[in-house]
Structure 1
Amino acid sequence: MKLIHKHIEKDRSGQVTLLPEEAEDMWHAYNLIAKDDYLKSTTIRRVVSETATGSTDKSTVRTVLTIRVEEVDFDTQACMLRVSGRNVVENKFVKMGAYHTIDLELNRNFTLAKVEWDVISLERIDDACNIANRADVAAVVLQEGLANLCLVTQNMTIVRQRIETNIPRKRKGSTTNHDKGMTRFFEQVYQAILRHVNFDIVKVLIISSPGFVKDALYQYIFATAIRTDNKTILENRSKFLLVYCSSGQKHALTEVLQQPSVQSQLSDTKYATEVRSLDRFYQMLANDPDRAFYGFKHVCLAAERGAVDTLMVTDELFRSADIPTRRKYIALVEQVRSTGGSVLIFSSLHTSGEQLNQLTGVAATLHFPLPDIEEIAEEEEEAARRAADGNVDEDLENDFVDRDLTTAV
């Protein structure tokens, strides 16, 4: 992502102009664009014009539109972003207030204006425009007859190709059919690697499986590369890393990335930091539960006491259409930082982000134990419940009084 222009006022209103240069930039744009923002971009509009004779003529024109955002859709496989809303700037092809959908394109500027730019959005722009933050990883997670080729970037884990094939079972006295099936399977995986892995960008290619399937695939890849004189594969042999995992499903990638041999090679990536922090949280939750909490209420109470060491939040919470919800999580982030805690914003397109979403999307490890947080949270909930019940009783009493007055009249 390239930052073309940025102008933010003291009241935090303002606009930025950005140039998406690669597919992952669309994910950043998806996290930046929210309901009621204003988006200006070049787009294609179908126009129906009427001639002097009364006939109609349909044509498509390229024009610049500014819409007030109502809906944002992101296609994770194609990395395409579609933004829908009403036109708010006069245009000779589109009426004021008319609906239009803008498809954001690579290498084409767009301008985003917000009434209030929060700290999370501004940080995302800085991260997206910092080339040094990009450290890509490719991984093949497989078992006999099943393989998932994944590309792991700073913000996304995308399954580029899923390969499934029937492998004949070994028969007593003959393994010919099984061996032929495995060869066909390995050839499909090999071709997928050639098609989807760019070794100019990828830092490491992880091959992971139960048993010795990974070793057999590794041998097949380099035997084939030598036979076909594939210099790309041969020159990048040092980037291949063999790791054990329990299955060939995508979720096994989290297990793979937690292993020390992988962590040492990915120590400078954001995703590796997320995986380590989440693993530390689970360990602390099991061994020292008074120093690990999840859920907004409990984490907020810990933050108020300055106890949070590491706050983990998924980016989904900052995409909420409800502005008060977004603001309360932004306030939590700022409070933790003000007391010296660190904040990690997990991508919901990573397996680590998916796991955190199962824990309400927010969790924290603490500097010191706070055994009374559970009790305080329960007391506050009970007080809120009593207050609500009191309001209901008061409303009922008022209804009875109104009814008696009406009867008396």
Structure 2
Amino acid sequence: MKILNKGGGIIYTSPSIAAPPTIPTKDETATSRQRPYYPWSPPPIPSPPGAKPACETPRNIPSQRRVPAMQLVGSKTSQRLEEVGEDSVTLLPTDPEDMWHANNLIGPQDVIKAHAIRKVTTESKTGSTVSERVHTDLTIRVTSTFFDPAASQLHVSGTVIVENAFVNIGQYHTLDLELNRPFTLWKKYGWDSVARETLSDALRQDKDGAVAAVVMQEGIANICLITEFRTVLKQRVESTIPKKRSASSDQDSGMRRFFDKTLSTLTRSIDFSNPRPLLIASPGFVAGDFKKYISDEGTRRGDKTMSAMAKQATVVHSSSGHLHSLNEILKSSEVTATMKDMKFSKETRFMDDFFDRLRKDDGRAWYGTVPVEKAVREGAVGRGGGVLLINNSLFRSLDIATRKRYVSMVDKVKEDGGDARILSSDHESGQRLDALGGIAALLTYPILDLDEDEDQNEQTNANEEAGDQEIII
């Protein structure tokens, strides 16, 4: 994802205090009706070079002011953001992965401006109606988002806050964010540390670091792409294979058809033009046979890409060929040895350490919002091995106070020298954490009574209910 700067677009700032509305002149009032003023409406944004012209913007919205351009550090794929503060940012998604980051950035009550296609119905003097689709730019206040992980499509719904010739203020619209089309985002409640970190991740992500994985057994193959931030099921392959011993030749031909179908689906779903790691996992010898099939096919076809794919492949044992075995695969020694520096591998290790501590019951592993918040407040998740594990889905709460509660925990852990890890709910580690309520912590020293208040409150509530029942009787 790119931030547009002076060379390829602009980043703009939304003033924290809106300027008073301008008073239209008599001529302006005569030629156009005055539009209502919204104190927190974003400033107008000129379209970047080559884009379609922006929609009409009311005159009474405060003018924009330029903010310092973001700095580039190191290679093109490694970028760092200055503190954004109350600024707005104009983003250009260039990869399907960017839509996932945009979904994490955009929250309820934020304001977004993007290209839109709107169906407009006009009525002629004779009473006939004509419908047409028009291209325009719309500015909406977000009410909800929907992200399709398979297609990497993001739909943002909300109400229009800047009218133009095609829409009025207050009308409802759903924006379909597109690749290579810029959109501008204003965070109504400011850019907190979690939002800035998410934006930084979007800029410094290594698009070439994704790992391909095939989790399979006889007749079933799940083709996945494991990126730094999520696991995507690209395709599922199913094929019927004879099981009778007398039909061994039929079984061999069935396995060849299955391997051929899986290989063609794999090369069609994932780009191997640049070498990338490939994990092949299965119970028994299916994974090893499939790797040999890829190598033989590469030699037979004279396909260097396919031969390189076979060389890059790592065969891993799994208990089944279904998708839930991915957690078992990522913990295997073969995978951790070759991918120990990848983000998802570190998060998997953190979750494994947490469950090990939880089994020991030594008071250094806690989960749940109330116990973890108490541990953070007491400074027990700090320097010396303290780790806060929190699911990114918690930061999408509709209640701003709830979001700020989790953000303050992240800030406190970092201030104390601990490690705050925001896990993706689209990764297996985030899904394991979600089963624990979405938040957990590894403490630097044991605390044994963090959940006593909860138990006392539950007992008090139970006693009060029992007392009420006795009074009723």
Q: TM-score, normalised by structure 2?
A: 0.78
Contact 1:170 1:177 in 2 (8 A): no
Contact 1:127 1:133 in 2 (8 A): no
Q: Distance in 2 between matches of 1:6 and 1:61?
A: 26
What is the aligned counterpart of 2:211 among 131, 134, 137?
137
Partner of 1:335: 412
State the Cα distance separating 1:156 from its structure 2 match: 1.5
Q: Which amino acid aligns with 1:146?
A: I
- Counterpart check, 1:197 vs 2:275: no
Q: Any residues of structure 2 matched to 1:168-247 within 5 Å, and which? A: 168-172=242-246, 174-200=247-273, 203-247=276-320
- Counterpart check, 1:68 vs 2:133: no
Q: Any residues of structure 2 matched to 1:350-389 within 5 Å, and which? A: 350-379=427-456, 385=461
Q: Which amino acid aligns with 2:226?
A: V
What is the aligned counterpart of 2:113 among 40, 44, 62?
40
Q: Distance in 2 between matches of 1:131 and 1:64?
A: 28
Q: 1:199 to 1:169 in 2, by over 3 A?
A: same
Q: 1:285 to 1:272 in 2, by over 3 A?
A: same
- Counterpart check, 1:21 vs 2:94: yes
Q: Which amino acid aligns with 1:247?
A: S
Range moving further from structure 2, 357-366 or 55-64: 55-64
Contact 1:135 1:202 in 2 (8 A): no
State the Cα distance separating 1:77 from its structure 2 match: 1.0
Ranges in structure 1 where 5+ consecutive residues have no aligned partner: 397-409
Q: Which amino acid aligns with 2:393?
A: E
Q: Which amino acid aligns with 2:116?
A: T
Q: Distance in 2 between matches of 1:235 and 1:6?
A: 46
What is the aligned counterpart of 1:151 among 221, 225, 229?
225
What is the aligned counterpart of 1:95 among 168, 174, 181?
168
> What is the aligned-residue RMSD (CA, Å)?
2.3
- Residue 293 of structure 1 aligns to a residue whose secondary structure is strand
- Counterpart check, 1:275 vs 2:348: yes
Q: Distance in 1 between matches of 2:392 and 2:441?
A: 15
CA-to-aligned-CA distance 1:301-360 (integer Å, 9 cap, x gap):
111221121111111100111212111111111111111110111111111111110010
Q: TM-score, normalised by structure 1?
A: 0.90
Q: Distance in 1 between matches of 2:371 and 2:250?
A: 58
Range moving further from structure 2, 352-361 or 127-136: 127-136
Q: Which amino acid aligns with 2:223?
A: L
Q: Distance in 2 between matches of 1:271 and 1:97?
A: 42
State the Cα distance separating 1:228 from its structure 2 match: 1.3
State the Cα distance separating 1:51 from its structure 2 match: 2.8
Partner of 1:2: 2
Q: Distance in 1 between matches of 2:458 and 2:117?
A: 52
Q: 1:64 to 1:8 in 2, by over 3 A?
A: closer
Q: Which amino acid aligns with 2:370?
A: K
- Give the structure, 1 or 2, with the largest relative contact order (CA under 8 Å, sep 6 or more): 1
State the Cα distance separating 1:10 from its structure 2 match: 7.9
Partner of 2:201: 127
User: Identity percentage over the alignment?
Assistant: 42
Partner of 1:400: none
More helix by share: 1
Q: Distance in 1 between matches of 2:207 and 2:304?
A: 28
Contact 2:140 2:159 in 1 (8 A): yes
Q: Distance in 1 between matches of 2:121 and 2:134?
A: 10
CA-to-aligned-CA distance 1:186-233 (integer Å, 9 cap, x gap):
111111121122224563100011111111111111111111111211
Ranges in structure 2 where 5+ consecutive residues have no aligned partner: 5-10, 18-84
Q: Distance in 1 between matches of 2:275 and 2:331?
A: 19
CA-to-aligned-CA distance 1:242-282 (integer Å, 9 cap, x gap):
11111111111111111122112222221111111111111
Range moving further from structure 2, 223-232 or 355-364: 223-232
Q: 1:263 to 1:160 in 2, by over 3 A?
A: same
Q: Distance in 1 between matches of 2:236 and 2:373?
A: 41
Contact 1:41 1:110 in 2 (8 A): yes
Q: Distance in 2 between matches of 1:310 and 1:133?
A: 27
CA-to-aligned-CA distance 1:79-105 (integer Å, 9 cap, x gap):
111111111002111111111111000
Q: Which amino acid aligns with 1:347?
A: S
Q: Distance in 2 between matches of 1:236 and 1:84?
A: 42
Partner of 1:290: 363
Q: Distance in 2 between matches of 1:71 and 1:177?
A: 52
Q: Which amino acid aligns with 1:171?
A: R
Aligned residues: 390
Q: Distance in 2 between matches of 1:380 and 1:301?
A: 15
- Residue 108 of structure 2 aligns to a residue whose secondary structure is coil
Range moving further from structure 2, 11-20 or 239-248: 11-20
- Residue 141 of structure 1 aligns to a residue whose secondary structure is strand
Q: Distance in 2 between matches of 1:276 and 1:243?
A: 18
Q: Which amino acid aligns with 1:275?
A: T
- Residue 104 of structure 2 aligns to a residue whose secondary structure is helix
